[in-house]
């Protein structure tokens, strides 16, 4: 069964175009994001590791000396915990996909995803596309 996480995530997170200091930014200028633990420059100009669970560090270039912006995507009013009873099925059955789509997804999954994700794409039902050019 495929669960619908989209509605749950909308309750938890918000799209953002300003940082925690209320300065505007454009997402297209983002070169680097960090979640959880990240490097920041202290008052002495030294790099230090900071824990930032409620915000994302964002930089516009791949330079560790650039002071990161702090952006929070968490809604002010929190939604519900992620619990199975709050998730609704997106659909019950796994519909077949075209064989070439399955092959492409499996190839990408083997390169970038976990073994369980690869297994999901291996077991995905597929159909050969029929040619009507007889």
pLDDT digits (tens, 9 = 90+) for 27-80: 888 898 898 888 888 888 888 888 988 888 999 888 888 888 999 888 766 554
HSE (side-chain half, CA atoms, 13 Å) at 76? 2
**116 in a structural domain:** yes
Residues 79 and 112 in one domain: no
Number of folded domains that form the chain: 2
- Model pLDDT for residues 99-133, shown as the tens digit of each residue: 998 899 899 888 887 787 788 788 888 898 765 45
* DSSP, residue by residue, 69-108: EEE--B-SS------GGG-EEEESS---EEHHHHHHHHHH
Residues 37 and 99 in one domain: no
- Residues 6 or more apart in contact with residue 97 via CB below 8 angstroms: 105, 124, 125, 126, 127
Q: Please tell me the distance from the alpha carbon of residue 10 to that of residue 87, in angstroms, as a whole number.
A: 12
**134 in a structural domain:** no
For residue 100, what are the domain limits? Answer: 94-127
Contact 58, 30 (CB under 8 A): yes
Residues 55 and 77 in one domain: yes
Is pTM, for the whole model, over 0.85? no
Residues 15 and 67 in one domain: yes
Residues 45 and 109 in one domain: no
Residues 70 and 104 in one domain: no
**28 in a structural domain:** yes
Is the pLDDT assigned to residue 85 strictly greater than 70? no
15-19, 20-24, 77-81, range with the lowest pLDDT: 77-81
Cα maximum dimension of the chain: 75
């Amino acid at each position: 069964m495929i669960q619908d996480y989209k509605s749950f995530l909308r309750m938890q997170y918000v799209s953002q175009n300003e940082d925690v200091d209320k300065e505007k930014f454009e997402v297209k200028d983002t070169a680097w994001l960090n979640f959880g633990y990240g490097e920041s420059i202290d008052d002495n100009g030294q790099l230090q590791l900071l824990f930032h669970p409620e915000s994302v560090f964002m930089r516009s270039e791949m330079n560790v000396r650039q002071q990161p912006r702090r952006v929070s995507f968490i809604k002010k009013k929190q939604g519900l915990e992620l619990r199975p009873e709050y998730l609704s099925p997106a659909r019950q059955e796994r519909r077949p996909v075209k064989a070439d789509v399955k092959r492409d997804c499996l190839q990408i999954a083997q390169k970038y995803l976990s073994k369980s994700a690869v297994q999901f794409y291996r077991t995905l039902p597929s159909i050969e596309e029929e040619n009507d050019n007889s």
